[in-house]
Amino acid sequence: MSDLTSVAVYRRRIGASLERVWENVHDWEHLPWLHRESFASIALEEAGDFGWRARIGLHGEARPEIRLELVLGDDECYVSRTLEGPGARSEIWTRLRPVDASHTDIEVEFLLPDVPRARKGALGSAYVKLYTLLWDQDEGMMQRRAFLLAGPRGAPAGASLDLGPETELVGRTPLRVELGGRPVVVSRLEEGWVAFDALCPHMLGPLDAGAIEGGRVVCPWHGYAFDVRTGRGCGEASRLRLAPPPRVELRGGRVLLAR
């Protein structure tokens, strides 16, 4: 680090436990999905006790690519190093300090090579702006996951919900509802009404926020796709399956969900 210049230090209290933060650090898959404004793609090279290493595509006209290595330190530190591409040799050190069961303090220091004195302030501001956005998005994901992990995981047998007249619902779908405390998406496809569980089985991602195209819904956290008619995972998610959804029933021109 002796030939690197510290251009800024970003400090923040995150509304998530240290466990959720470390889970997020290990989660390389979410980068081009949750942070789609910043990252275009990711291809993992290696992952293990040391951390992970991957090639990451960035947004921009030239579609630049970097080779990034995230190395774990002790229980309170990790470092991201750009090995190749724009920003090569830069290091970002993140230090963590648990506050309580639902809060963690972070300190992120940005160290860059060959920094002209006149550009230090602008570069530091750019990194702080970027990491404010990234941590905003990460915090939202971690808080939602913590909330869902602590809540009910299924509706009791016999539970039902009257959604209203079919003629009024057609223009409002896809519709997110809750049955027994669990979120469900109800939609109208060409072949008829369908309901599917709104929690991605991978990490409880919000499938209710994903667009339905060609009978598939894609999780906005990690890009895992599912057939909304069968619940089966597609492609990389083929080993996964959505939780069984409630039945969609038509009674007297009304749409009902039932377990």
Residue (of 137, 153, 145) closest to 34 by Cα position:
137
Q: What is the pLDDT of residues 67-82, one digit of tens each?
A: 999 999 987 999 999 9
The tokens of 246 are what? 């409630």
The mean pLDDT of the chain is 93
15-29 pLDDT, tens digit per residue, is 999 999 999 999 999
Q: Is the pLDDT of residue 2 over 80?
A: no
Q: Which residues contact 68 (CB under 8 A, 6 or more apart)?
A: 53, 54, 55, 56, 80, 81, 82, 83
Distance of CA 168 to the CA centre of its chain: 33
Q: Is the pLDDT of residue 237 over 60?
A: yes
Domain range annotation of the chain: 4-150, 160-258
- Provide the phi-psi class of 53: left if phi over 0, else alpha when psi is between -120 and 50, else beta: beta
24-46 mean pLDDT:
97
pLDDT at residue number 153: 61
Which residues have a Cβ under 8 Å from the Cβ of 118 and sit 6 or more positions away? none
pLDDT of residue 159: 78
Q: Kindly give, in sequence order, each residue whose CB lies less than 8 Å from that of residue 11, ignoring residues fewer than 6 positions away.
A: 105, 106, 107, 108
- Report the pLDDT averaged over residues 85-105: 97
pLDDT above 80 (res 62)? no
Q: What is the pLDDT of residue 246?
A: 92
pLDDT at 1 over 80: no
Q: Note the pLDDT tens digit of each residue in 149-168.
A: 987 666 566 678 999 999 99
**Tens of pLDDT along 210-236?**
989 999 999 999 999 999 999 999 998
What pLDDT is stored for residue 191 in this prediction?
A: 84
Burial environment of residue 150 by CB neighbours within 10 A (0 to 12, 13 to 18, 19 or more): exposed
What pLDDT was estimated at residue 156? 61
Q: Which pLDDT score, from 0 to 100, does residue 64 have?
A: 92
**170-200 pLDDT tens trace:** 888 899 999 888 899 999 998 899 999 999 9
Evaluate whether 4-150 and 160-258 have a shared fold: no
Q: According to DSSP H, which parts of the chain are helical?
A: 18-26, 31-34, 120-150, 166-169
- Looking at the predicted structure, is the pLDDT value of residue 203 above 90? yes
Tokens of 247: 């039945």
How far apart CA 9 and CA 108 sit, in angstroms, is 6
Dihedral of CA 242/45/51/128: which sign?
A: negative
CATH classification of 4-150 is 3.30.70.990, yes or no? no
- Superfamily (CATH) of domain 160-258: Rieske [2Fe-2S] iron-sulphur domain (2.102.10.10)
Name the nearest CA neighbour of 96 among 88, 86, 108, 87: 108
